[in-house]
């Protein structure tokens, strides 16, 4: 039986992971609505801690900020507030993680330093991520940094799972093939996510060159990386199906791998929708969110193996 106060600690760890997903989703909404440069400076927004709700409240030197924007060079309250809420969520996550570290130190310092180590790493990772957020803004959302930023978010989401696993008693008994197969699939999926991020970077350039309009032209202008990303899905799908077939009768593992396959199919469907239905904006953050969730599912399943 789990100790009662371990249970609330575990619940909080899940909550943290959920918060990371919310921040990833908020980032996706920022991009979907082209609000990235809604706050041209960082950490403030138009030099203010609480951004304007009307153009009349802009500071006298507002041109200085607007000149950093990549498209319209005008104040758009909708973009500004979407970007600002995204930042607030990020900052809130930082505060929750600081609270997590304090809680972990007080609770486990004398009994389980591994948990403290992970909570500390989490704080370091979120600090680096916040710094990268600034660099991304400074360099007008430069593309390589966006990929690193994405990987950082995945690391932050994954760390609480390590602590959850250390405190959870139920594990799966699986053979070496499934264990190694799952590890390989985590690596394969990471490669697919990085490929996807490259496609996203191309989409960013294409959409910008078309003033974020004419969505029907975006996919056709993509280069080889899109074909590689699309075809690579087969490897991910076949690998996960293989794990499903091999492990479908293993207690505990079976339901995990079934959910993994279902999420994977949804991601692929969203990809197909983007490719054949002129990139509906809503599919973009969903594709990203589910891809991140899939990686976490695989990682957690691997952690639970004995």
CA proximity to 291, closest of 181, 146, 186, 161:
186
Q: Is 13 in the site for ligand HEM (CB under 6 A)?
A: no
User: Could you tell me the smallest distance in angstroms from the CB atom of residue 251 to ligand HEM?
Assistant: 27
CA distance 257 to 151: 23
CB atoms < 10 A from the CB of 6, how many? 14
Which residue, 115 or 289, has its beta carbon nearer to ligand HEM? 289
DSSP state of 59: -
User: Kindly report the CA angle at 255 between 254 and 256, in degrees rounded to 5?
Assistant: 90
CA proximity to 130, closest of 102, 155, 149:
149
Using the rule CB under 6 A, give the single segment among 14-22, 70-78, 252-260, 287-295 that binds ligand HEM. Answer: 287-295
Q: Which of residues 234-253 bind ligand HEM (CB under 6 A)?
A: 236
User: Could you tell me the smallest distance in angstroms from the CB atom of residue 284 to ligand HEM?
Assistant: 3
Which residue, 17 or 270, has its beta carbon nearer to ligand HEM? 270
Among residues 116, 122, 271, 302, the one that binds ligand HEM under rule CB under 6 A: 271
Q: Which two tokens stand for residue 276?
A: 């054949």
Among residues 192, 206, 243, 297, the one that binds ligand HEM under rule CB under 6 A: 192
User: Could you tell me the smallest distance in angstroms from the CB atom of residue 101 to ligand HEM?
Assistant: 29
Q: Which of residues 194-223 bind ligand HEM (CB under 6 A)?
A: 196-197, 199-200, 203
Q: Which two tokens stand for residue 237?
A: 């799908």
Q: Who contacts 56 (Cβ-Cβ below 8 Å, separation ≥6)? A: none
Q: Is 160 in the site for ligand HEM (CB under 6 A)?
A: no
Q: Is 34 in the site for ligand HEM (CB under 6 A)?
A: no
Using the rule CB under 6 A, give the single segment among 36-44, 82-90, 228-236, 243-251 that binds ligand HEM. Answer: 228-236
Phi, psi of 251 (to 5 degrees): -55, 130
Q: Is 275 in the site for ligand HEM (CB under 6 A)?
A: yes
Q: Is 268 in the site for ligand HEM (CB under 6 A)?
A: yes
Q: Where are the alpha helices (DSSP H) in the chain?
A: 4-32, 62-66, 77-108, 113-138, 143-167, 176-209, 224-247, 253-276, 283-303
Q: Is 267 in the site for ligand HEM (CB under 6 A)?
A: yes
Which residue, 32 or 105, has its beta carbon nearer to ligand HEM? 32
CA distance 143 to 8: 39
User: Could you tell me the smallest distance in angstroms from the CB atom of residue 38 to ligand HEM?
Assistant: 18
Among residues 116, 119, 164, 288, the one that binds ligand HEM under rule CB under 6 A: 288
CA distance 116 to 210: 49
Residue that the structure tokens 């041109």 belong to: 63
Q: Which two tokens stand for residue 166?
A: 């250390």
Using CB under 6 A as the criterion, which residues of the chain lie in contact with ligand HEM when the complex forms?
150, 192-193, 196-197, 199-200, 203, 229-230, 233, 236, 264, 267-268, 271-272, 274-275, 284, 287-288, 291
């Amino acid at each position: 039986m789990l100790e009662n106060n371990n249970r609330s600690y575990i619940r909080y760890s899940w909550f943290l992971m959920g918060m990371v997903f919310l921040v990833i989703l908020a980032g996706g909404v920022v991009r979907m609505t082209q609000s990235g440069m809604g706050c041209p400076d960082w950490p403030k927004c138009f030099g203010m801690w609480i951004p304007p709700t009307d153009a009349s409240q802009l500071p006298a030197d507002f041109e200085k900020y607007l000149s950093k924007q990549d498209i319209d060079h005008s104040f758009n309250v909708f973009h500004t507030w979407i970007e600002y809420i995204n930042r607030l969520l990020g900052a809130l996550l930082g505060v929750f993680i600081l609270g997590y570290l304090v809680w972990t130190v007080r609770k486990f310092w004398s009994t389980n330093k591994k948990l403290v180590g992970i909570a500390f790493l989490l704080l370091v990772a979120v600090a680096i991520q916040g710094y990268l957020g600034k660099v991304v803004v400074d360099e007008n959302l430069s593309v390589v940094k966006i990929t690193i930023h994405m990987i950082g978010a995945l690391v932050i989401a994954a760390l609480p799972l390590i602590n959850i696993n250390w405190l959870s008693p139920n594990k799966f008994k699986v053979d070496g093939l499934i264990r190694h197969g799952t590890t390989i699939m985590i690596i394969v999926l990471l490669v697919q996510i990085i490929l996807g991020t490259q496609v996203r970077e191309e989409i960013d350039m294409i959409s910008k060159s078309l003033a974020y309009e004419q969505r029907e032209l975006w996919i056709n202008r993509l280069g080889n990386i899109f074909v590689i990303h699309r075809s690579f899905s087969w490897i991910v799908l076949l690998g996960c199906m293989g794990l499903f077939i091999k492990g479908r009768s293993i207690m505990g593992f079976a339901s995990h791998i079934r959910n993994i396959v279902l999420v994977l199919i949804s991601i692929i469907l969203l990809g197909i929708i983007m490719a054949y239905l002129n990139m509906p904006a809503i599919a973009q953050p969903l594709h990203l969110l589910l891809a991140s969730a899939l990686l976490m599912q695989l990682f957690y399943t691997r952690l639970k193996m004995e």
